């Protein structure tokens, strides 16, 4: 039976693909206040502006490509049972070849009802040919169509499924996440005691005091290649 690897990824895994991150220096929050584009209140105040912000991100995403970190993680599926839990809203893991991806914060290439965002009947996938949500465009339930994004102040519907995956992991890996956004940052606490835990990030990351973690202080592309070397030496 294959060992189970669970990987939590944040903005750092997509940064080398040229896709804008939110929190880093010169990130999107520097030019677009969170309250304006990433809260239910911002949506209520100006849905056209919020949709156009995400339309612009979507146009950028279709021009971006998976990087070597995405591809190497997908390749791990040959020898491990791999689940990716991502805080990112891009689809670069899927495009890189990963088959099991849990999106905690939604998916940029999808749109949904503004009164029942998680109702699967009214979640639609946008395509490069029809990438924008137009002003006044409606979901199947007659409400305004909005980005399928978990905004600040909204529940994270897949957090329990993600925690269950982490609890079953034989190996846990964190890549490019500041571990500053909850509840995702708390997933490390669901690891079984004694399993190998790796952190890949060129920046200092604040870890729980009790955590025993092997740190690879490299960008994602270099760090995942190094991770694979370390995995090959595990018993």
What amino acid positions are annotated as catalytic residues? 105
Length of the chain: 235
Dihedral sign of CA atoms 45, 47, 48, 49 in order? positive
The residue whose two tokens read 């912000």 is: 53
Number of C-alpha atoms within 13 angstroms, CB side, residue 95?
A: 15
Annotate 58-112 with three-state secondary structure: HHHHHHCCCCHHHHHHHHHHHCCEEEEEECCCCCHHHHHCCCCEEECCEEEEEEE
Measured between alpha carbons, how far is 228 from 170 in angstroms, rounded to an integer?
15
């Amino acid at each position: 039976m294959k060992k189970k690897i669970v990987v939590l990824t944040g903005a750092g895994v997509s940064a080398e693909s040229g896709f804008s991150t939110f929190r880093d220096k010169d990130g999107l929050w520097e030019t677009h206040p969170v309250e304006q584009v990433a809260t239910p209140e911002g949506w209520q105040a100006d849905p056209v502006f919020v949709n156009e912000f995400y339309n612009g991100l979507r146009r950028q995403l279709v021009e971006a490509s998976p990087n070597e970190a995405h591809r190497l993680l997908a390749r791990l599926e040959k020898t491990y049972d791999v689940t990716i839990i991502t805080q990112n809203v891009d689809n670069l893991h899927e495009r890189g070849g990963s088959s099991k991806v849990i999106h905690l914060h939604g998916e940029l290439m999808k749109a949904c009802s503004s009164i029942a965002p998680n109702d699967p009947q009214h979640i639609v996938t946008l395509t490069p040919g029809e990438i924008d949500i137009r002003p006044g465009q409606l979901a199947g339930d007659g409400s305004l169509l909005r980005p399928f994004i978990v905004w600040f102040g909204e529940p994270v519907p897949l957090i329990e499924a993600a925690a269950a995956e982490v609890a079953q992991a034989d190996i846990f890996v964190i890549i490019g996440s500041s571990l500053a956004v909850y509840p995702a940052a708390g997933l490390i606490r669901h690891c079984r005691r004694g399993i190998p835990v790796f952190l890949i990030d060129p920046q200092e990351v604040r870890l729980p005091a009790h955590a025993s973690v092997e740190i690879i202080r490299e960008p994602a592309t270099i760090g995942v290649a190094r991770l694979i070397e370390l995995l090959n030496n595990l018993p």
